[in-house]
Amino acid sequence: MSAGSERPEGAIEAPAAAPAHWAHRHLLDVDALTRPDIELVMRTADEMHDVLERPIPKVPALRGLGVTILFYEASTRTRVSFEVAAKNLSADVVNIAAASSSVSKGESLVDTVRTVEALGADMLVIRHSVSGAPYLAAEIFSGSVLNGGDGWHAHPSQALLDLYTLRSRLPGGLLEGRKVVILGDVLHSRVARSNVWTLTAMGADLWICGPSTLLRGFEAWAARGAAGRRFTVTSDAGAALQDADAVMALRIQKERMASGLLPSLREYAARYGLTNERLRAARPDAIVMHPGPMNEGVEIAADVAAGPRSMVTDQVHNGVAVRMALLYLLAGTRRTEAGA
C-alpha cells in the first residue's frame, strides 16, 4: 500500500541517499516508506523535539491550514497527541468524534469526508475500526490523509514514534542487528503490523511473540519475508526475550477470552506478562515499551511499567514530536503541489 499516490517499486531495497524531500501526499501505511523516508521523519522529529523544549513550544509552520481529526474509535491519547501536535504547528484544528458501524444509519464515511472537506480541512487525520478505511477517505479527500490507526491494519504514527524512541536509547540510534521483541496480541494489533515494516526496514532482528492463537497469520507473513524482510515468530516467551535489546508489550483485551482465544487473563499474565523476572533473560540495558493504554498486572507488571527500563512516558512525549514531523512533511507536499 502506498504511503502516497506513487508506489515506489522495490521500496525495500532502500537507496543509500536520503530523498531531497518528502514525496508522499498521504500517510496511509508504512509498507512503502523507504529507509530514507523513515530517516527524514526521524530528522524532522528531532527538530520538532527541539521545538518542544522551548518555553513556548509553538511554530507557525501550519498557520492557515485546517487539520481535522476524525476519530471513529474512542481514543484519548492518540487523538490528543495529534491535536497537540497540530496546535504546536499553529494549524486550525477541528475534532470530530464520529460513531459508525456497519448497521447504524449514520452518515457514511464518504459523505462525512466530503463534508469535512467542504468545511475547509486541508489535512485529515482518521482513526477507524475497519482496516483500509483511510484509503477510502484518501480516494475522496483532496488534501492529505494521515492514518491515525485502522482496524488491525496500520498505525503509522505509532510505529514511527516507537522507532524514534528506540533510536533515542540505542548507541548511534542504530537498530541493525538489535533484537526487538513485540510481545502479546499481535493478531488484532495494527501497532504490531506497522512495527514489522518499520523495524525490519531499519535492520532490526525482530521477534514476534504471543500465544499461538494470537499469532495467527504471522507465520505465513514471516515465511514469505515480505519484500525480503525477515522476522521470527514464536510462542515461547523465554526464547523471544533471551538477550533482547527492547521489548514492546501489547495490550491484551478481555474480549479475547470471550472469543475463546485465551483461557484467562491470569494464565496470560503468568505466561506472557512482562515481569522483571522474565526480563532477566534480556540484556541488562534492555528497554521496555508499550503503546498504551496498559493493563498493569496483565501484559506488563506495574513495577516494570514504572521502572527504569520503561520508555512509556518517552513514547508519549516523542509521539507529539513525531506527529508534528508527519503533519509538517505532509503539509510540505501540499505546498509543493500548490506552487507547481
CB of residue 249 to other proteins, shortest distance in Å: 20
Q: How far apart are the C-alpha atoms of 21 and 38, rounded to whole Å?
A: 12
DSSP state of 74: -
Residues of this chain, 51-110, that bind other proteins according to CB under 8 A: 102, 108-110
Q: Site size for other proteins, by CB under 8 A?
A: 38
Q: Pick between residue 225 and residue 238 the one whose CB is nearest to other proteins.
A: 225
Residue type, 261: L
Chain centre to alpha carbon of residue 214: 19
* Cell numbers standing for residue 320: 507529539
Q: Pick between residue 59 and residue 226 the one whose CB is nearest to other proteins.
A: 226
Residue 21 in contact with other proteins, rule: CB under 8 A: no
**Which listed range, 119-127, 151-159, 276-284, 314-322, lies at the site for other proteins (CB under 8 A)?**
151-159
Bridge-based pairing of strands 123-128 and 66-71 is parallel
Residues of this chain, 161-220, that bind other proteins according to CB under 8 A: 190, 193, 216-218, 220
Residue 12 in contact with other proteins, rule: CB under 8 A: yes
Q: Pick between residue 223 and residue 239 the one whose CB is nearest to other proteins.
A: 223
CB of residue 73 to other proteins, shortest distance in Å: 13
**Which listed range, 53-61, 75-83, 135-143, 312-320, lies at the site for other proteins (CB under 8 A)?**
135-143
The backbone torsions φ and ψ at residue 115, rounded to the nearest 5 degrees and listed phi first, read: -65, -45
Residue 237 in contact with other proteins, rule: CB under 8 A: no
Q: Pick between residue 76 and residue 108 the one whose CB is nearest to other proteins.
A: 108
* Residues making up the chain, counted from first to last: 340
* Helical H segments across the chain, by residue range: 35-53, 77-88, 109-118, 133-140, 156-169, 190-201, 218-224, 237-241, 255-258, 265-272, 276-279, 302-305, 312-339
* Beta-bridge partner residues of 208: 182, 233
How far, CA to CA in Å, does 261 sit from each of 124, 210, 223, 300?
35, 11, 23, 19
Q: Residues interacting with other proteins, by CB under 8 A?
A: 1-2, 7, 9-10, 12, 31, 102, 108-110, 128, 130-133, 135-136, 138-139, 150-154, 190, 193, 216-218, 220-221, 223-228
